[in-house]
Structure 1
Amino acid sequence: MSSTLTIHHLRKSQSERVVWLCEELGIPYNLECHDRVPPAMLAPESIRRLHWSGTAPVIQDGDITLAESGAIFEYILAKYGNGKLVLGPTHPKYADYLLWLHQANGTYMPAVTSVMLGRMKGDDDESPTQKVMQNRANANLQAMEKQLGTSAYLAGDELTAADCMSVFGLTTFRLFIPSDLTEYPNIVAWLQRVGQREAYKRAMQKGEPGLEPMLAAVPQPLAQ
């Protein structure tokens, strides 16, 4: 089925979320994949030409070009979702849904990205800034672990867009900042549940062919 919706996916990046979201919704889309540019492994010029942000994900839908994961999620869910993967204001888990939909990019990813960049420039993990950011990331993981001890997914026993937004930071992002999730068994069990979803498998196969999803507590290192 043809579609006007095109997802521009930067390999090994958060734009995998958008591919997964569309697979879960069962909507048609075109997928354009872009490779990172060594040695800094930044987005290529092909992404930068699409949107002033110069980052992925980017979608195009007719005359519309849109960036930012959260904005893209809202756009796709509102225009194409038909009420799937969202919880409304009257739902008892609505507040949980909103929190976890925004937590990944609002708090967790900025914290772990700051730690990663600090390590890249040689900052000591015991430096004040590194400790603050690592503690912030740990607090998020502890809260997520507690949440997933009460339900199969972040906003109840059914998958929502909040899960689609949150998985990347605990899987593919660990290519850039390895981390051990052994002390978070509920998170690991959640990742395993996600890994069994056919829509997730399709999304990863399309967007990251050859990359084994990093769903284990201690994922295997990539082959050299």
Structure 2
Amino acid sequence: MITLHHLEYSQSFRILWLLEELGAPYELKIYERDPQTRLAPATYKALSPLGTAPVITDDNGLVLAESNAVIDYILDSHPDSPLRPAPGDSSRTDYLFWFHAGVGSLMPMQFFNGLLTMMKDRSPALVRPVIGKATDTVREMLVAPRLKTLFDKLEIDLARNRWIAGDHLTAADISMCYSIASADAQGRLKDRPNCQRWMEQMRETPSFQRAMDKDGRETFVFSF
């Protein structure tokens, strides 16, 4: 049986949601962050070489990190699940694109954007004007256009699809939830009604609500 080692307020929530949607048996071990540093405890970091969330272990001795690798591993045990459209399915292309674009393009850009803000806000006062100008230039020329392009495409795709890859929930939605919720918290979805509709659908999904209950959080908000 799979054990999900769940770090509070982390990307491992996606695996918790996936397991609840599948109705799969699993054991849940919750780890709290250090109250001062907000970092994962040493016991969690020791689970895998990466020391990051999510991590699952299995009775066969497997230890696996990286969200989409974990999702694929779990779905391999549920070959008939509609959460991963089969080759030839009309939603397969959208599924593949967003399943990988979320962690390969969208999340890195969001993280980089947050890093630029941190560099600007925390730089020494003497060099802050120079650092601020440099980070603003990078954001304007590189980060903002890239994020706009990705969220423009998401808005267009959600205009023709109820969910990200068609009319029903897939693992692409589960994989993307972290990035979309982060964008919503930053106000990036205020002029994107289809993305806002998706957020409401997510919150109303019974498996999502069960995952929230087990996680113990009151709101689903992330930021970079």
| TM-score, with structure 2 as normaliser | 0.86
Give the superposition deviation at 1:139: 1.4
Q: Of residues 209, 216, 221 in structure 2, which corresponds to 1:201?
A: 209
Give the superposition deviation at 1:130: 2.2
**Higher alpha-carbon Rg:** 2
**1:106 maps onto 2:104 in alignment:** yes
Secondary structure class of the residue paired with 2:166? coil
Q: What do you get for the CA RMSD once the two structures are aligned?
A: 2.0
**1:133 maps onto 2:131 in alignment:** no
Letter in 1 for 2:6: H
2:183–2:189 Cα contact (<8 Å) kept? no
Higher helix share: 2
Letter in 2 for 1:11: E
Distance 1:67 1:48 in 2: 11
Q: CA 1:108–1:49 in structure 2 vs 1: closer, same or farther (change >3 Å)?
A: same
Secondary structure class of the residue paired with 1:66? strand
Give the superposition deviation at 1:134: 2.6
Give the superposition deviation at 1:121: 1.8
**1:120 maps onto 2:114 in alignment:** no
Secondary structure class of the residue paired with 1:9? strand
What does residue 153 of structure 2 align with? 143
Distance 1:39 1:134 in 2: 32
Distance 2:36 2:107 in 1: 22
1:97–1:154 Cα contact (<8 Å) kept? yes
Give the superposition deviation at 1:174: 5.8
1:93–1:156 Cα contact (<8 Å) kept? yes
Distance 2:148 2:35 in 1: 30
Distance 1:130 1:44 in 2: 33
Question: Which deviates more from structure 2 when the two are superposed, residues 106-115 or residues 35-44?
Answer: 35-44
Give the superposition deviation at 1:214: 4.4
Q: CA 1:214–1:42 in structure 2 vs 1: closer, same or farther (change >3 Å)?
A: closer
Q: CA 1:37–1:137 in structure 2 vs 1: closer, same or farther (change >3 Å)?
A: farther
Give the superposition deviation at 1:202: 0.4
The C-alpha deviation readout for 1:149-194, integer Å capped at 9, x for no partner, is 00100111111110011111122x469x733411111001011011
Give the superposition deviation at 1:38: 4.6
Give the superposition deviation at 1:43: 2.1
Secondary structure class of the residue paired with 1:124? helix
**1:13 maps onto 2:21 in alignment:** no
| TM-score, with structure 1 as normaliser | 0.86
Q: CA 1:47–1:81 in structure 2 vs 1: closer, same or farther (change >3 Å)?
A: farther
Letter in 2 for 1:13: S
Distance 1:130 1:182 in 2: 20
4+ residue stretches of structure 1 with deviation over 4 A? none
